[in-house]
Structures are given as C-alpha cells and as structure tokens.
Amino acid sequence: MSEKQPNPWMEGLQTIVLSVVLALGIRQFVAEARFIPSGSMEPTLQIDDRLVIEKISYRFNPPKRGDIIVFEAPQAALDAARSTHKDAYIKRVVGLPGETVEVKNGQVFIEGKALSEPYINAPPDYLWGPEVVPQGQYLVFGDNRNKSSDGHVWGFLPQEQIIGRAVVRFWPPGRIGGLE
C-alpha cells in the first residue's frame, strides 16, 4: 500500500490561510501596532512614534490614572474636530469614574488635591470644571495640554470606546522602550 503524498500547494495554501487568521485574531483581540499622527501627547510621544497597543488587560481590570490609552473618538470629539472620519485617539487617563476633577491655576485637581504630572509639556492655560466623571466613563487629556483636542474640549470618554493601552514604543530605534 502506498501513502498518498501531500500536495505542496495545498499545504502552502493552508499555512497562508492559518497565518492570516492568526494575524487577524491577534490584531483584533490581543495587540496591534499604532503610529502617532499629531503632537497632542508631546513630550511623551512624538509624531511618527510607533507603539504596541495591548488589548487584554482592560477585559479584567479597569484603566488606571496615568495609563496612555487608544480609543475610538467619541462623536463629541469628531464634532469638535469637524471630522466625519472615525479616528482613533491616544490620550492619558486623568479622571476616573466618580471623581471630581478641576483644572485651575495651571494644574489638574482630583478631589481638591493637585495631581503630580511630570510628563506634561506645559501647565494647562485653561480652566475646566469642577465636574464629576460619570460612572462608566473617563476623563482623558493629552500630555501637550494646551495643544490637544481632549476631554477638556469634548468631555468624557465612555469605557466601551477604549481599544487598549499603549505599552511600548518600538520606533524610532533611539526611543525604544516602555511607556509611563
């Protein structure tokens, strides 16, 4: 009895199909690469930085203050930007659900206490709040506070619009590393 020889074309096709399915599954549910198109997160992130966004941790734990997140732009953000394109934004979580947040005297205050923000480009030159972050939503700001279309312009971010957390910069080579 002779064994049937595998068809190399079928094996190649199966390998390609499996690779595509795995790649799409990983991008959809585990991690994906993103690039930075604007200066709204300077100095932490520069234009054209490339990042890995992980998508798993927020399935088990909520975002924390200070996390850098990627999210689907809420309609209010698109309206503020006069955009009809469903963009993804990247900002830093500042206010958590139920907290009272205010921006005054060049500082962010959470429950009346000044937030330490060594990562911002310059102190905010605007007033905002005080407002209570609604349950199931977050307040997000860019690190370049005075040049960012963020929560101080368009309001709160619903949790269901969060795509994931920026964890590592992989480009450019001189700036490779984790994000804080």
126-159 pLDDT, tens per residue? Answer: 999 999 999 999 999 999 999 999 999 999 999 9
> Given pLDDT bands bounded at 50, 70 and 90, which one contains residue 78?
confident
Active-site residue numbers?
40, 91
| Residue 21 included in any domain | no
Contact 48, 35 (CB under 8 A): yes
| Residue 25 included in any domain | no
List the structure tokens of 41: 């997160």
Contact 46, 37 (CB under 8 A): no
Give 106-116 pLDDT, tens digit per residue.
999 999 999 99
When the pLDDT of each residue in the chain is averaged and rounded to a whole number, the result is 88
Task: Give the pTM.
Answer: 0.83
CATH number of the domain within which 90 lies? 2.10.109.10
| SS3 of residue 75 by DSSP | helix
> Given pLDDT bands bounded at 50, 70 and 90, which one contains residue 75?
confident
Contacts of residue 50, defined as CB under 8 A and 6 or more positions apart, other chains included, come to 33, 34, 35, 36, 169, 170, 171, 172
| Residue 112 included in any domain | yes
| Residue 2 included in any domain | no
One DSSP character per residue, 114-154 reads EPP-TT-SS---S-EEEEEPPTTEEEEE-SSGGG--SHHHH
Residue labelled with tokens 């911002």: 120
The domain of 171 spans: 33-178
Q: Identity (one letter) of the amino acid at 177?
A: G
| Residue 27 included in any domain | no
Number of domains in the chain: 1
Q: Identity (one letter) of the amino acid at 41?
A: M
Question: Does the pLDDT value for residue 25 go beyond 70?
Answer: no
Strand ranges inside the chain, DSSP E: 31-35, 50-54, 68-72, 88-95, 100-104, 107-110, 113-114, 128-132, 137-141, 157-158, 162-171, 177-178
| Residue 45 included in any domain | yes
pLDDT given at position 144: 97
> For 66, which DSSP code?
T
CA 85-131-39 angle, to 5 degrees, is: 40
| SS3 of residue 53 by DSSP | strand
